[in-house]
Structure 1
Amino acid sequence: MPPAKSTPTPTAYMVPAVDRSVRILRLLQRRQQLTVSDVAQASGIGVSSCYAILKTLQHHHLVAFDERAKTYRLGLGLLELGGAVSRDFVFVETARAHLMDFMRTTRLTTFVVARVGHERLMVVDKEEPGGDVRISIAVGTRFRVTEGLSGRCFMAFLPEAECDSLLKSVGLTPFAGLPAPTVRAYRAQLSAAREAGYVALTESPISGANGVAAPVFDSEGRILFALTAMGLSPALASKAIAETGASLRQAADAITKVLGRG
């Protein structure tokens, strides 16, 4: 009997030059502006290969070159690609109006988080209030599915079997300044979130931040995105958590309803 054929993993099809290009773009995302030597040193890619990749990316406007400083940075061509992605996700425009309304009413930083891998989430849109004192988070920020308010929102509203699998593979991530909960306590928190319709955080010992997160579902009832709102305790007092959470859940439900009609 012939041996069973194994299914190749995605990495089996990776093209080295493309992989190096993506690594360089990710590096420029983190480090803003770098010389060819900086890129080579940080990425472990040879200088000549870095130079060729950077010039190719520059040709396609995915990176820009500063003649005076001799440094490279991310290019405007990425905005065009990002815009195309945004157009493909109907929720972005749908959610933005609700985000802006919620932010204007509450003066809280409000953002949309999507799942971009089995164990990873990413901030895909945000609205921030003006002023010098506020919580800020960059679009494109990635984190583990069990991490933070948004992670707990996903975990609370995922199917139970999938949640159990992620607990085993990813593990628990505590809120900033707090010890990691036991699995039993974590499950109790998820249960409370499902009952309330949102996840809440009250006064992290490190940041003094409060926040709420509510789920947006697809037409089949699976969590698609998390709407998350955060503010320092003066902007979002502990006593206002329930009211704010209910308000955010209403915004999430409105988006779910629009997406269901699409």
Structure 2
Amino acid sequence: MFTGSIVALVTPMDVKGNVDRVSLKKLVEYHIASGTSAIVSVGTTGESATLDHKEHIDVIKQTVEYAAGRINVIAGTGANATAEAILLTKQVEKLGVVGCLTVTPYYNKPTQEGLYQHFKVIAENTSLPQILYNVPGRTGCDLKPETVAKLAKISNIVALKDATSDLARVYKTRKLVGDDFKLLSGDDVTFFEFMLLGGDGIISVSANVAAREMARICQLITAKRIKEARKINDTLDLLHNKLFIEPNPIPVKWACEKIGLIQNSTMRLPMTPLTNSSIPEVEKALKLAKLL
């Protein structure tokens, strides 16, 4: 369930900044057709920071309805207050999601004990499988491998999304958590190496526009057909980089519009459109990946 290419789905919006349901349905169909393993709805790439609670839950609900059991949906339910994360988790329990992606508390900068207690209490308040999400570059705190190992002993904490880009952690964390606990890359640039070192897949930004390619790479690595996988990934290498030329999800929403997956790349403030100087860079990457 938590392996392969999982897309960190963008949340499409119309020119007024309202959620674009037509484009959302189109995106879900695109990922079903492309072999994506699962969808993360309303994670960082889905602009969770600028959706209110009602919209947050509604986007997840709509995504599950459009999926109609044909692809698994994982709900982004992270918050920097434990009580808020529990509230979001409780609200998605009956929507049909297969699990939750819960980011480390941002801004607060809790200790390792604080992080342990945060995730432990969330897990104790739900039966849904939980994916820990560590992205220090955004949150200001770092979930250490030793803390992950403690959390992995809790039955419904089943996976880690690691967006540190620190490949040395893959082996260290795997040794601590064992083989059943899933390790997912959260960094497209290094995900290929992450999987070669024992990772189980990726929660991907690039998969928003290169869904078929990302799914195939993961399948080939799992089948030990590394040369074939590398050949595909080499065509995506520039894309992996240029989709982060400005803060995510600015470039990837522009790219989704450019290749016709969404109607426009509207975002809510404080996120602003892709700058003119970056447009040729992202366009070049799309062309190299044969997506344009």
Higher relative contact order (CA 8 A, sep 6+): 2
TM-score scaled by length of structure 1: 0.31
Q: Which has the higher strand share?
A: 1
Larger Rg: 1
TM-score scaled by length of structure 2: 0.29
